[in-house]
Each structure stands twice: as C-alpha cells, then as structure tokens.
Amino acid sequence: MIKSAQRKISAYLGTQEAEQAVRQASDRLGWDRPTIHRGGLATAARLAGKAGSRQTIIAELGDMNSQDAAESLRALAANSTQVIVLGERNDVGLYRQMLAAGAQDYLVMPIGSDDLAGVMSRRVAGAPEPTAVAKVIGVTSIRGGGGASFVAANLAWLFAARMGRQTVLLDLDLGFGTQAVDFDVQPTGGLIEALLNPDRIDETYLSATLAQVGEKLRLYSAEGPLDRDGRDLTGRTPQLVAQLATAAQVVVLDLPRDLAVDEPQTISACGDLIVLLSPAISVARSYARFRQWMAEIAPDTRLRPVLSMNRNDARLSRKEIEAALGEPVAAMIPNVAAAFARAAVAGKPLAALQPRNPAIVPLQALARSIGGEEPRRRGFFGRGRG
C-alpha cells in the first residue's frame, strides 16, 4: 500500500469506469472513501464555493468544450482546489490547455487505479509540481531536401548549449530518420516502445531510454521496422509529446512533411512550427495552402517560414519569395553543404563546431526569438553583448 498524507477527495463523475478507478485508487492509498457526485467538471465548478480548502477534486470532462472547461478550472483554482481531470480525448493541445487553466493533471480514460493512485499520491505527498509545460517547436519542410532535420538538430543544440534549456529532440521519421547517426549515437529503441505504450511513460522511463547527446540535450531517434504501419505508431505521438513536455523546457520535433499533414494533433501540440521553404514559386504557393489549412486546424500554432537555399530550385531571391508569400520569412539559411558534411563526419551539429557559420547565425537569432530572449546588440568591435 502506498503511504501518503490523507486528503479529502471529491469526485464528479459520469461513468462507472471512472467511479471504479477512483474508489480503487483511494483504497490503494489507504484513504477514506471519496465522496462521489454525479456530473462532471461543470458541476464541480458550481459547487466550488461550498467546498473546504485542502481537497482534491477528480472530475470527468465529458463533452464539455475546452473553453468552458478552462473557465471551470480557473474557478476551482481560485478556491485553492486541486483538480485532476479525466477525459476521453487524447489531445496534447487539450492537455496543455487544461494545465494552463490550473489542472494538476489531465488523464486519458480508461485509466488504471494504480496509475490514478500514483498521480493522487504524488501531488499530496508534496512532490514538486511539474514545471510549466515546455515550448514545443516543430520543424518541417514543404518540399523534401529542404534541410528540416539540419535545422531541428541545430536549434535543439542551441537551446540546450547556448541558452541553457533542458531540451529533447524527437526524430519522428521512424523509418529513415538520421538524427541518431548525425549525433553519433545508437538509435533509441525506447522511442518505439514509448509510442506503442505511451500511457506507461514516466520520468524514470524517459531517463533510461533517451540518449544523452549533450549536458542539457537528450534525443529520441529510432530505426523503426519498415513493414509496420507507421500511422499505428505516429498516431500516439501527441501523448508522448505531452510526457516529454513535462520532462524538459524545450521539445523540438523533427517532423516529416507527410506526418505534419496526416497527424494534425501533433501539429496542434506545437507552439511554433518552423516550415522550410526552397526558393521556388511552386513552394510559395504550397506554403500558402498549408498556412490556410493551419489556420483551421491549429490556429494557436505560430508559423515561422524559413527560406533554405539548400535546394536552389528557381533561385528566387529572399525579396521575391517574401513578395510571393505576402509575409517576411523568419530566417534565411544559406547553402553550406561542405560545412554540413564535415559536421556529419564529426558526429556533431554544425552549431557546435562553427558557431559563427553563416547558416548558424540566423538560427541563433531564431532560437532567441522563439525562446523569448532579446536580440543581442553589437559592441564597438562587432561582438555580441547582453
């Protein structure tokens, strides 16, 4: 039996499955039986003013929309009430909204009583609350060969090594991803297991299976079986991203372009989505369609178009591409094929070997912009300061 301090539990539930899990979790903890109410999160919010302090509420979300759920959570938080939300939607965007509104956790049903007891015990026992949900940054490309993996790897390294953020780089090209090779480490088999059983992932599992590729940089990059239906695995990506977001300050997703379109929930998990463009009118037109689609499926995700000269295509200038896009690009990455090749041989990101390389300087500025740091000013002798 788990030993922890008792706390009053009130549950607002609409299903027998949830009620059974809550009762069994309380029994496992050795606590008094919970008070069960019919209803859900909305009912809990209406009764919040009548509840005493130092209590835990477990409430089902039901068919409540995310905006109303957030308002209910804020009402409960105003009364210093701890809330664990149970829901059927496996949506990392919803998970982030619930935490931002004050929920202690959002758990996807069905959930076992052991898992629920662990969450209840961990909160009451005074363990540190999770840090703010990490910045989740996706990197993809409108056309293959644009250098999305290069940008993802170097951005992750900059966040970790130059900005001191605990960072995870997640390579989601399960069949042909190269991040493990580029960082000169063995592929991380734990990624496949994590996607197969995302509900079993915790901090201990992540610590044991993520590859440490820097003091503050860890990596998931697997060589998945080529005969597996990739959608069976990538469909579970949002839940894995949600777990990574509680174990790091920054999560960088190396997103194959097909996955970016096929898995909108993964896209909606990203606060920022960097989209690599090559200098061609056809690419600009494709980006315009993609931008319109993003406005519908992930309106809160900030798009950051980046012009990559890795593919010359029509050799349009930055000014011409920006005119075609109708917006400025966030950065332009020159073609540095020779330097990139040397970095690949060394098994290190180019940012680690040549921090002043023309391809890295704009990525440094982009990382600072996304990370909320002020641009560095130039001193008298051309050196950055501040």
Residue 348 lies in a domain: yes
- Would you say 31 and 6 are in contact if contact means Cβ atoms under 8 Å apart? yes
Residues 40 and 110 in one domain: yes
Q: What is the pLDDT of residue 217?
A: 96
Residues 111 and 245 in one domain: no
Domain annotation covers residue 151: yes
Q: Is residue 108 part of a domain?
A: yes
**pLDDT exceeds cutoff 90 at 297:** no
pLDDT for position 225: 65
Q: Dump pLDDT digits (tens) for 200-211.
A: 777 788 888 999
- For position 300, what pLDDT does the model report? 83
- Taking only the tens place, the pLDDT of each residue in 77-126 is 766 567 899 998 888 888 888 887 888 888 988 888 777 887 777 654 44
- Mean pLDDT of all residues in 272-293: 91
In a domain, 378, yes or no: no
Q: Is the pLDDT of residue 383 over 70?
A: no
Within this chain, do residues 64 and 109 fall inside the same structural domain, yes or no?
yes
The gap between the terminal CA atoms of the chain, to the nearest Å, is: 53
CATH number for the domain spanning 164: value is 3.40.50.300
The reported pLDDT for the residue numbered 90 is 84
Q: 105, 124, 143: which is the final residue of a domain?
A: 124
**Which pLDDT score, from 0 to 100, does residue 213 have?**
93
Q: Is 108 exposed, middle or buried (0-12, 13-18, 19+ CB in 10 A)?
A: middle
Do 79 and 186 reside in the same domain of the chain? no
Closest Cα partner for 92 from 303, 241, 234?
Answer: 241
Domain boundary pick from 124, 156, 174: 124
Nearest to 139 by CA among 303, 295, 332: 303
Binned at pLDDT 50, 70 and 90, residue 313 comes out as: low
> What's the number of CA atoms in the CB half-sphere (13 Å) around residue 49?
1
pLDDT above 90 (res 216): yes
In the chain, pLDDT over 70 holds for what percent of residues? 83
Domain range for 214: 135-372
Say if 377 falls within a structural domain. no
Q: How is residue 372 annotated by DSSP?
A: T
Q: Are residues 225 and 314 in the same domain?
A: yes
Give the CATH number of the domain where residue 117 resides.
3.40.50.2300
Residue 104 lies in a domain: yes
Instruction: Say yes or no: 158 and 304 in one domain.
Output: yes
Whole-number Cα distances in Å, 50 to 3, 45, 46, 86, 128: 29, 10, 9, 22, 28
**Would you state the pLDDT for residue 116?**
84
Select the more confidently predicted residue: 138 or 264. 138
User: Bigger pLDDT: 316 or 323?
Assistant: 323
pLDDT band at 28 (very low <50, low <70, confident <90, very high): confident
pTM over 0.75, yes/no? no
Q: What total number of domains does the chain contain?
A: 2
Q: Do 171 and 285 sit in the same domain of this protein?
A: yes
pLDDT band at 381 (very low <50, low <70, confident <90, very high): very low
Q: What does the pLDDT average to over 351-365? A: 93
Instruction: Tell me the C-alpha distance between 85 and 41, whole Å.
Output: 8
- pLDDT(218) > 60: yes
Helix and strand counts by DSSP (H, E) for the chain: 18, 15
